[in-house]
Amino acid sequence: MAASVVINEVLNYTVFNLKRVAKDSLLHCLAKFYHEDELYAAKTVLCKHVLENDAGSGAPAITAGWAKLVNSKGMPIMRKTADPAQRRQHEADDLLQMLILLDVNKVELPKFVADDLDRIPSAVLMVDSTATSPSGFASDFASLMSTFKTMMEDVLRSVERNMSDVVTKRLDDMERKLTGSSSYGSMPAPRQLVPETQGVQDTVSGQSTSLSWSDHAKDLGNADPSTLFKNITTKPRVRVRGQAATSSLKAVPRQLTCFVGRIHQDVTEEDLAGFLKDRGISDVRCRKLIPKDGRVFNTAAFRVSCSAEYESIFYDESQWPAGAELRDWVFYDRDGRQ
């Protein structure tokens, strides 16, 4: 015998999700979406079906637990509380209890269909049974946002550190390329940077290319990072510099060493050393850098070093000629490691 068809949106939705969704979530959705009269009408449909299946005897076919949900006539109890939200919660809970009892006792139900799809929730709201109050949801949301903010700050700090390391490596490689302190593996040779319309001629014509050290270094921006930093390993940062005075154990302070660029090409090592000594750096040492492969630049570059005690003067931009550029000098082993 084919099952009968009953039009009821509440039962259509509830029966479909009864075994698919957690009871707390389904109960929350029923109490929030449906009116109390809709929930009571759904309970009435179930009670009438139970009485009809009892062959008109007037007694419910399900005795265990069913009597708590119906009155003496077998019809559903109407919940009466002052708070409408609590009434809907009780009505929805009664409806779920009825369907669970019918399912446990294997009572065959009609086929419930929906005529008005606007009365079917689009989704089930998944909720935590321990956070049913608005203040509980607000607290959970604030905690979630705090965790998200902390994670994003960690990510941004990591990105900044990585970007700083990349920039430092590119500058270090530029200094290695210009000074020729050691071979650099598979790094591509720099291409010609300035168009011929600006007065630059290639070596085929027998004349040298005239570029500045800074313009020559710009070619590194077009190099392949996979080959540019192939042999570079990140050097650990200095975390502590000792300050304790002791007579039994001595340390050797690191000298300050910089790559100094954009100096006029006529300046000699003696000129630059005398200039810095006049500023108070008594033990300064200057070495003029000679370009490799016969290249000619329209500016000069120097390797300048002095004792750490002159740090305040050495790194004071007001002590250097206008336009001069200083970068930290990076030392490498023969095998290309820092």
Q: What is the DSSP string of 143-163?
A: HHHHHHHHHHHHHHHHHHHHH
- Per-residue pLDDT, 131: 47
More confident residue, 220 or 110: 110
Mean pLDDT, the chain, whole residue set: 76
Q: Is the pLDDT of residue 14 over 60?
A: yes
pLDDT for residue 287: 94
Query: What average pLDDT does range 139-153 have in this prediction?
Result: 83
Choose from 13-22, 133-142, 193-202, 221-230 the range with maximum mean pLDDT: 13-22
- The pLDDT score that the predictor gives to residue 306 is 94
Quote the percentage of the chain above a pLDDT of 70.
69
Highest averaged pLDDT of the listed ranges 11-20, 168-177, 216-225, 279-288? 279-288
Q: Is the pTM of this model over 0.75?
A: no
How far from the centroid of its chain's Cα atoms is residue 69's Cα?
53
Angle between the N-to-C axes of helices 9-17 and 36-53, in degrees from 0 to 180, rounded to the nearest 10: 80
> What's the pLDDT band for 165 if we cut at 50, 70, 90?
confident
* pLDDT recorded at residue 268: 94
Where do the domains of the chain lie, and which CATH numbers do they carry?
5-127 (no CATH), 134-191+208-229+254-338 (3.30.70.330)
Q: Could you read off the pLDDT of 314-331 as tens digits, one per residue?
A: 999 999 998 899 998 887
Which tokens in the block code for residue 5?
A: 């068809």
Higher pLDDT, 24 or 190: 24
Average pLDDT (38-66) is: 74
Which residue has better confidence, 200 or 230? 230
Whose CA is closest to 234, among 155, 157, 303, 164? 164
Q: Is the pLDDT assigned to residue 193 strictly greater than 70?
A: no
Q: Give the integer Cα–Cα distance in Å for 22 and 126.
A: 8
Residue 280 pLDDT class (50, 70, 90 cuts): very high
Helix (H) or strand (E) holding 140: helix 134-179
Q: Is the dihedral of CA 329, 332, 337, 338 positive or negative?
A: negative
